[in-house]
């Protein structure tokens, strides 16, 4: 797997990137969509085993999904 294509917000496609370049850019978000030759379709970065070391798991020690959830539903607390 040499090149990774990343689908980010607003469906802007950027790349190709090597794993080294992804690391230099600060990694991937868990919900970044990636594609490379051999994948059938765009796939969330956190579901591609070879990218697990490059996916940012948290912000300030909290998972990204729970921090977004906390912000949206904070009025319920």
Tens digits of per-residue pLDDT, 25-77? 888 888 888 988 888 898 998 899 888 889 987 555 444 555 666 666 666 65
Tens digits of per-residue pLDDT, 8-26? 766 788 889 898 999 898 8
**Domain count along the chain:** 1
pTM confidence score: 0.64
Range 72-77, long-range pairs (CB < 8 A, 24+ positions) = none
Full residue range of the structural domain in which residue 26 is found: 4-76
The predicted pLDDT at position 4 comes to 75
For residue 22, give the nearest of 51, 64, 58, 63 by alpha carbon: 51
The predicted pLDDT at position 9 comes to 64
């Amino acid at each position: 797997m040499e090149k990774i294509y990343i689908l980010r917000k607003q469906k802007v496609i950027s790349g190709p990137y090597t794993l080294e370049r992804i690391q230099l850019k600060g990694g991937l978000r868990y919900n970044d969509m990636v594609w490379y030759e051999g994948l059938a379709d765009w796939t969330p970065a956190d579901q591609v085993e070879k990218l697990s070391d490059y996916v940012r798991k948290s912000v300030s020690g909290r998972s990204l999904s729970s921090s977004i959830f906390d912000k949206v539903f904070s009025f319920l607390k």
